[in-house]
Chain A
Amino acid sequence: MSVVVVDYGAGNTRSVLAALGHLGERGVVTSDGDAIEGADLVILPGVGSARSAMAHLRATGAAGALARRVDAGGGTLGICLGLQLALGHSEEDGGVEGLGLAPGEVVRLSASRVPRLGWCEVSPWGDTFYFAHSYVAKSEAAVAFAEGEVAAIRAGSFLGVQFHPEKSGPAGLAFLERCLCPA
């Protein structure tokens, strides 16, 4: 199958590619709109700042391609910042408009220690995954939670996860494998 890992200039795409490699898949790193629309699965990874990521996605046309892809029902996985970019608005970097693929907004975490770094159990799924973030989604599309905060959202063919499946050991690889073989 063809897997595209969206390049937005700041992402640590190598870890996502390595995780795909563990599952016997090869990902292609690109911001090309046609590749994004045509792939079997698109992964929007997550490192960096919301503002520079959105600027890059708009400048390359990847933003429009992602919207058309999700409209058409194409499987799309957002990881960490990739989840947050999918929402309508983020208060990071003084306020950033997102892709609007899913309803909701992104706010600063109010946990006792920020950033939240480490492994948390995700309910109702039951697995433990690695989180590393200072902002978090508030969304009616939430489908899973960790410590009361949104851990995953689903809107149509878009699935966003706040944790890093590519950094969550065997549980993370099993999660990615399910994304590769939806059924």
Chain B
Amino acid sequence: MPLPRLIPCLDVAHGRVVKGVSFVGLRDVGDPVELARHYSEGGADELVLLDIAATPEETATLTEVVERVADVVTIPFTVGGGIRTLADATRVIEAGADRVSLNSAALADPGLVTEVAERFGSQAVVVAIDAGEEVVHTHGGRVATSVAVVPWAREAAARGAGEILLTSIRQDGRRTGYDLELTARVRDAVGVPVIASGGAGSARHVAEALAVADAALVASIVHEDPGGLGSLREAVVACGVRLREVIG
């Protein structure tokens, strides 16, 4: 298996990073390009940019942000939020994203997963699942659907998703640890890698997540700590997880 990955996630709206970032030492902590560069140089294994406004008017803004991020980072990055068609996915990938994350659009039209995978390869398609305890939620976690989490993950992978980004809406923002049980169940059900998301409050939590998943998404835990990602990496390694050695 490849080394476990730590993936900082930036929530973006109207071209700005919108939550939880309180760093010192950056000229503009609200600029997604500046933050992406910071994490790329600071040892992130990958990045995720989520456009949480994702309105049609956002399209041009997001594309410009993606282009500028692609010009400064030297690691892979995934872009999600508001990608509803193959044309949307194509625009984001041509702007420089390595992968797109599909969420509610994939749920509404699972054929979209296959379309994007056939055009760009499965490695370019992440299906994001906002999971309650048993069912998939939409609208930022507020609306429960009747779709069960594990079968949907399995279907998404069968349709061409190259990775599942599983966010526990119960744990998200609580800092009491990832939903390890659900993450393990999803990973056991699919043959593609799984990113655990939601609930990181400590390096121990991240290490636990990496024992059951291929990667861990981290947000406030790195955004709000000046030492941020570097100290988190060291602490996760101290928990016995082997991470990529970051050069200089």
User: Which positions in A face B, CB cutoff 8 Å?
Assistant: 10, 12, 14-15, 18-19, 21-22, 47-49, 111-120, 128, 130-134, 147, 164, 166-173
CB distance from B221 to the nearest CB of A (A): 21
CA–CA, A18 and B93, complex, Å: 14
Contact status A112-B1, CB under 8 Å: yes
Q: Mark B108-128, 1 if CB is under 8 A from A, else 0.
A: 000000000011111110000
Whole-angstrom CA separation of A12 from B67 in the bound complex: 11
B98 on interface, CB distance cutoff 8 Å: yes
The number of chain B residues touching the other chain, given as a range, is 35 or more
Contact of B70 among A18, A128, A147, A170 (CB under 8 A): A18
- Does B228 reach chain A (CB closer than 8 Å)? no
In the bound complex, do residue A167 and residue B75 qualify as a contact, i.e. CB atoms below 8 Å apart? Answer: yes
For the complex formed, measure the closest distance between the CB of A12 and the CB atoms of chain B, giving whole angstroms: 6
**A12 contacts which of B2, B71, B98 (Cβ < 8 Å)?**
B98
Given A128-B3, A128-B244: A47 touches B74 (CB 8 Å cut-off): no
Least CB separation from A135: chain B residue: B121
Chain A: interface secondary structure? mixed
Q: How far is the CB of B125 from chain A (nearest CB, A)?
A: 9
Which residue from chain B places its CB closest to the CB of A14 in the assembled complex? B96
| Pair B76/A134 contact, Cβ less than 8 Å | no
Given the known A-B contacts A132-B76, A169-B75, are A117 and B123 also in contact in the complex, defined by CB atoms under 8 Å? yes
Q: Which residue of B lies closest to A166 (CB)?
A: B74
* Residues of chain B from 110 to 159 with CB closer than 8 A to chain A in the complex: 118-124
**Could you give 20 example pairs across A and B, Cβ below 8 Å?**
A14-B95, A14-B96, A15-B98, A22-B74, A48-B119, A114-B122, A115-B121, A118-B45, A118-B214, A118-B215, A119-B3, A119-B45, A120-B2, A120-B3, A128-B245, A134-B162, A169-B40, A170-B74, A170-B247, A170-B248
The reply to whether A113 and B95 contact each other, CB–CB distance below 8 Å, is: no
Q: A14: which of B70, B120, B123 is its contact (CB, 8 Å)? A: B70
Query: Is A119 a contact of B5 with CB atoms below 8 Å?
Result: yes
| B191 within 8 A of partner (CB) | yes
Complex: chain A residue closest to B70, CB-CB: A14
Please indicate the chain B residues that have their CB under 8 angstroms from the CB of A133 in the complex.
Answer: 123
Q: How far is the CA of A128 from the CA of B191 in the complex (A)?
A: 24
- A167 B193 Cβ-Cβ under 8 A: no
CA distance A118 to B4 in the complex (A): 8
A114 touches B124 (CB 8 A): no
Chain A residue nearest to B126 (CB atoms) is A117
**Are B123 and A12 in contact, with the CB atoms below 8 A?**
no
Within 8 A of A (CB), among B1-53: 1-5, 40, 45
User: Which residues, 156 to 171 on B, are CB-close (under 8 Å) to A?
Assistant: 162-163
